[in-house]
Amino acid sequence: MAKLAIVDLSNEDCFKPGTSSWLSIRKDICHALEDLGCFVAILPDKISSELRSAHFGMLDELFDFPTETKVKSSYEKPYPTGYQRVEGAVYESLGIAGATNPEQTQIFEHHFWPNGNDVFHETADLYIKVMEELHHAVMRMVFENYGVEEYLDDHLQSTIHTCRFSKYSEPAEKTGTDMSILRGIHGHTDTNFTTILYQNDVKGLEIKSKDDEWIGFDPLPSSFIFLAGDGVQVWSNDRIRASRHRVTWSENDVRYSGGLFSFRVGETHTPKELIDEDHPLQYKPLNTSVYTEYRKKNYASIGPDYTVKAYCGV
Ligand SMILES: O=C(O)CCC(=O)C(=O)O
Ligand SMILES: [Fe+2]
């Protein structure tokens, strides 16, 4: 049975480019991404257990607001995000676009708490900051690994981050729909460049191995899981494959997760340095927002197994 790679980044030196810790972690991370499209990161203790419980307590309060309030936090611009729930499903989620800017967390927060809520934004911003730092370091490692660090600044400047919080629990109203298909999230790849997820201790996330087995993710309080999305698959010309993952929630306990979904604005294309005789060009340039919209709109006919290769493969 394949295992998820666990990378211990608890030593702060791992975040210092050029150090021996950085170079050794870079090797492990790039190997894991090429192998399974994901890895588990153990991060330095920046989030105390008190802040962690306070944060998950806030998510509890957040999802307890009535649907009318949750829907009001949705918007189309600058990037569409908002409340998602399929009637009768156990999964619901709320999103903040541009979440690495703390102003956006507060705009989101005011939909729920008109007078603000310090614990909500302080804990949410801390999680977002920790994930942004991890994203930044991993992107530098990946660009260095392929010898294209000259494109890194442009990539980071063209990236925006959406934070999504998800809750998995028994819906208040059972519908006539076949519940077996609504007990989590079907196997899928994320359409964005990369995703980082954290969660409470209720299991459910699974990653597909190369041998088509589902590998369960065993969360630890200090662990985050980093997933390659379709964007990095196109960019890397298939060196890194998007991770296919799903959530099967079967416990009575409520599962909460949060994540940073990083998108490249405009077109993602494969750098010329990553195209050669052994790696002929695999993809036309990808516009992630058009692709995401296409997948949503056509979900009924293309289904969750749809791939970016079918969308923009050459
Ligand atoms: O809740 C999770 O752990 C995963 C959520 C997910 O895969 C997604 O929102 O794309
Ligand atoms: Fe996902």
The pLDDT tens digits for 203-243 are 999 999 999 999 999 999 989 999 999 999 999 999 999 99
Give the span between the Cα atoms of 163 and 193, in whole angstroms: 14
pLDDT in tens, 272-306: 999 999 999 999 999 999 999 999 999 999 988 99
Q: Any residues with CB less than 8 A from the CB of 265 and at least 6 apart, and which?
A: 158, 159, 160
ipTM over 0.90? The verdict is yes
Which of the ligands is closest to the CA of residue 206? 1
- Ligand 1 atom 8: the closest Cα is on which residue? 190
CA–centroid distance, residue 190 to ligand 2 (Å)? 5
How confident is residue 173, by pLDDT bands cut at 50, 70 and 90?
low
pTM across the whole model: 0.96
Across 229-257, b (16+ Cβ under 10 Å) vs e yields bbbbbbbbbbbbbbbbbbbbbeeeebbbb
Q: Which atom from ligand 1 is nearest to the alpha carbon of 166?
A: 1
243 secondary structure, DSSP code: P
How much is the pLDDT for 26?
98
Q: How many CA atoms lie within 13 A of 13 on its CB side?
A: 9
Mean pLDDT over all residues of the chain? 93
Residues whose beta carbon lies within 6 Å of some atom of ligand 1: 164, 166, 185, 190, 197, 199, 205, 245, 247, 257
How much is the pLDDT for 177?
57
Q: Is the pLDDT of residue 171 over 80?
A: no
Instruction: Look up tokens 């799903």; give the residue.
Output: 246
How much is the pLDDT for 78?
65
Q: How confident is the model over 99-105, as a mean pLDDT?
A: 95
Under 8 Å between Cβ of 235 and 285: no
How much is the pLDDT for 264?
96
Q: Is the pLDDT of residue 178 over 70?
A: no
78 secondary structure, DSSP code: S
Q: For residue 268, what are the β-bridge partners?
A: 286
CA–centroid distance, residue 247 to ligand 1 (Å)? 7
CA–centroid distance, residue 113 to ligand 1 (Å)? 26
Count other Cβ atoms within 10 Å, centred on residue 313.
Answer: 12
Under 8 Å between Cβ of 155 and 264: yes
How much is the pLDDT for 182?
64
Under 8 Å between Cβ of 270 and 291: no
Which of the ligands is closest to the CA of residue 205? 1
How confident is residue 180, by pLDDT bands cut at 50, 70 and 90?
low
Q: Is the pLDDT of residue 269 over 70?
A: yes
CA–centroid distance, residue 72 to ligand 1 (Å)? 22
252 secondary structure, DSSP code: S
Helix (H, G, I), strand (E, B) or coil at 285: coil
Domain 6-312, CATH 2.60.120.330 — does that match? yes
Identify the H or E element spanning 248: strand 245-248
Q: Is the pLDDT of residue 75 over 80?
A: no
